[in-house]
Structures are given as structure tokens and as C-alpha cells.
Amino acid sequence: MSTHGQLKSHVLEEISKATSLTELEDIRINSLGKKGHITLLMKEVGQKSPEERKAMGAELNILKDTLTEAFDYRKAQLENAALNARLASETLDVSLPPRPSPRGRIHPLSHVLDQAIHIFGQMGFIVAEGPDIEEDFYNFTALNIPPEHPARQEQDTFYLPALEDNQPLVLRTHTSPVQIRTMIKGKPPIRIIAPGRTYRSENDATHTPMFHQIEGLVIDTSTHMGHLKGCLEEFFHLFFEDSSIKLRFRPGYFPFTEPSAEVDMWWKESKWLEIGGCGMVHPNVLRNCNINPEIYQGFAFGMGLERLTMLKYGIEDLRLFFESDLRWLTYYGFEPEARE
């Protein structure tokens, strides 16, 4: 009995003193391993008399369980300590920056176009497009601007060599030819917006030879100037996310609309800014597109995309839109969106 008691306390002491898992494992092998003291003792039990066997067996089993428990406990302790030590040694500087993700940007003009299409889309407009190189007929004549009309001089037009039929070709000076193409091809009711590149021979601080317009056209039997005002007011309220924006419609002149209006926006509590032109489609334009002006009417409007972008995002220099300076594009550009 006492030998077992001594053995027990000896092994328990060794266990508690073990400082590493390997040391602990050695102790376990020495005591409970195949050739360990206790294993050997347990083998001896079989040679004893039944009475002794019973008593010793029970005693040794208890010893074995006690030691196993002690081993497991110490092992968990040491493992925990080892883990803590490892964790302590594995500290990283979390202030270091991660690998950077790609930082692409969408040009502010595309971003604003996307917004404008979305807003007009909700009002039932669909996008129509036409070529940048236009026939004189679509760019001018069909829009009630005959060759000698003074309005032609106000638009510095780029010309390209005429086609074989002598039809002069121009870089479109507005996106209005898209209206003509849409009316000639389609039938009322029509409700389109025509965004795109436009060109005029001007190059100074506030004009670039290429710029972007977005125009709208509605043709049906009853749309009038009240709807035109309502439509543009709704657009500007949504676009600038401010329903207190004030617009002013004042008489203007465009050969392709009658009545015509210029649209001004009250800007920063200080001044009226011209932001677009509009009006009811001129009866001659409807006639030129084989639409009967006795039955059909509607409105058209147009505005500059650069202007809208500059006003909304506080961009000052028009020329930098087209410079491709990465610093500018990164600063004023927009994060891409996830699309389907």
C-alpha cells in the first residue's frame, strides 16, 4: 500500500514539476506507458491470488485514473501556456496598411449622365442616340434652320467633306438631330432623351470644341408648357437633391421651338445662372418629320452635361474635364458601382 502511495505522490510531483509537453510525455511513458511502472505493476496483478488480485486491481485502477487525470490536467495547462507564449510571440503591427485594392474611377461626366438617365428614366423617358457626324439636313435644315439663317452663324460648326450627293456633313452642334431622326423613324407618342458628344469651333476658358449635351423631346397631343416647366423642375430638384431649387423660365429664341424659353437657376442665393434652353416644338420641325402639327405637339429641352457636373460637384475648370490628368480624374471621379 505504502509503496503505491509513495509511487503516486512521486509521480504526481513529477507531473506538477514538468515544464514542457515532452517532459510530461516522458513521465507518462515512464509510469503509464507499455513498460511504465504502473503498467508493469498492473501486469503483476494477474499472478496474485484472487483476493489480492481484486484488492490490488481496484487500487491500481484508481491510481491509474488519478494519474491520467493529473497528466491530462497538466497537459492542458502546458498547452495553454504554450499557446499563450506563441500568441505573445506572434504579434503583428496592425497599423500597417493592407494590400491596396485597385482604385479605378468613373469620369464625373459618365456619373452625371448615369444620374440624369436614371431621373429621366423614372419620368418615362428612354435614351435615343444618333451619329456624331451628321448630315446638314438633320443638324440644321430639318430643325427649321435654313442655310442663311442667322442662328447658323451663332454656332461655329465643324465641317467635313460632303458625301457623294453633295449633302454637307458636320460634327453635330447639338444633339437635336437625334430628335429629328427619332421623329422621322417613329410615331407619337414620343418621349426620349438624347445625350451625347457635341462639337462647336470654340476654344477658350469656358468653351471646349467638344462638349456633351442632354436633350429631351416629348410629342403627343396635349403636352404643353406647364408640363415642360413641371418636368424640368422635377429633374433639377432630383438632380441637385434639393426641392427648394428655383427655376426661371424667360422668353428665348431657338429656331426649332415656339414658344421658346431659356431656363435659369437661382444659384447660391446670389444670381441667375443659365442652365438650359427649351420650348414647344416648332410646327415646321414637326412638318419636316411628317408629323401633323394640327394634331400633335410637345416640348423639347436641352442642357450641357459639363455645366450640370460643374454646378453639382463644384468643379471650376471646364478644360480639365478632357485633359486626362490622373490627379484630377482620381479626385473628381467616382467609385464604380456594382451592376448586374
Partner 1 sequence: MLFTLSWLKEHLETSASLEQISEALTNLGLVVDKVENKAEILAPFTICEIIDAEKHPDADRLKVCRVNTGKEILQIVCGAPNAKTGMKAVLALPGTLIPSTKQILKIGKVRGIESFGMMCSARELLLAEEDNGIIELDPKAPIGESYAKWLGLDDTVIDIEITPNRGDCLGVYGIARDLAATGMGVLKPLRIETIKEIFPCPISLSADSNACPHFTGRVIRGVKNCPSPEWLQRKLRAIGLRPISALVDITNFFTHDRARPLHVFDADKLKGNLAVRLSHADETFKALDGKTYTLSKDMTVIADDSGVISLGGIMGGDTTSCDDSTQTVFLEAAFFDPIRTAITGRHLGILSDSRYRFERGVDPASTLPGLDAATQMILEICGGEASEKVVAGQVPDLIKDISFHPTRIKSLGGLDVPLQRVNDILKALGFTVRNNEDSLDVLTPSWRFGVEYEADLVEEVLRVEGYDKIPSLSYGPRPQEKPLNPLQERRFVVRDKLATRGLIEAVTWSFISHELANHFGGIPEALRLLNPISQDLDAVRPNILPNLLRAVLLNQNRGIDCIGLFECGPQFTSSLPNGQHMMATGIRAGFIHPGNWREKKRPVELYDAKADALSVIEIGNLKPQWDRTTPQWYHPGRSATLKLGPTILGYFGEIHPQILTDFDVKGPVVAFEIFLDRMPFPKRKSTLKPSLILSPYQAVERDFAFIVLKDVPADTLIKAAIKSEPTLIEDITIFDVFEMKNNQKSIGIRVRLQPKDRTFTEEDIQSLSQKIITSIAQNTGGVLRQ
Rule CB under 8 A: which of 268-287 touch partner 1?
A: 280, 282-284
C-alpha cell at 102: 485597385
Out of 35, 103, 268, 271, the only residue in the binding site for partner 1 (CB under 8 A) is 103
The 169-171 sheet, strands edge to edge: 133-135, 169-171, 159-160
Out of 72, 104, 206, 295, the only residue in the binding site for partner 1 (CB under 8 A) is 104
Size of the site for partner 1 (CB under 8 A): 93
Residue 326 binds partner 1, judged by CB under 8 A: yes
Residue 188 binds partner 1, judged by CB under 8 A: no
Stretch that binds partner 1, among 14-22, 25-33, 67-75, 228-236 (CB under 8 A): 228-236
Q: Which is nearer to partner 1, 186 or 259 (CB)?
A: 259
Residue 76 binds partner 1, judged by CB under 8 A: no
Residue 149 binds partner 1, judged by CB under 8 A: yes
Residue 258 binds partner 1, judged by CB under 8 A: yes
What letter would DSSP give residue 244?
T
Q: Least CB distance from residue 29 to partner 1, whole Å?
A: 36
Out of 123, 245, 310, 315, the only residue in the binding site for partner 1 (CB under 8 A) is 123
Cα 20 from Cα 14, distance rounded (Å): 12
- SS3 readout for 164-193: CCCCCEEECCCCHHHHHHHHHHCCCCEEEE
For 236-259, b/e burial (b = at least 16 CB within 10 A) is bebbeeeeeeebebeebebbbbeb
Which residue, 108, 103, 95, 142, is CA-closest to 212? 108
Residue 144 amino acid letter: N
Q: Which is nearer to partner 1, 32 or 300 (CB)?
A: 300
Out of 40, 133, 184, 295, the only residue in the binding site for partner 1 (CB under 8 A) is 133
The SS3 assignment for 329 reads helix
Residue 179 binds partner 1, judged by CB under 8 A: no
Residue 266 binds partner 1, judged by CB under 8 A: no
The SS3 assignment for 78 reads helix
Residue 304 binds partner 1, judged by CB under 8 A: no
Distance of CA 14 to the CA centre of its chain: 65
Stretch that binds partner 1, among 8-16, 27-35, 66-74, 126-134 (CB under 8 A): 126-134
Spell out the residues 6+ positions from residue 71 whose beta carbon is closer than 8 angstroms to its own. 15, 24, 27, 28, 32
Out of 106, 273, 310, 315, the only residue in the binding site for partner 1 (CB under 8 A) is 106
C-alpha cell at 277: 434652353
Q: Least CB distance from residue 54 to partner 1, whole Å?
A: 51
Residue 120 binds partner 1, judged by CB under 8 A: yes
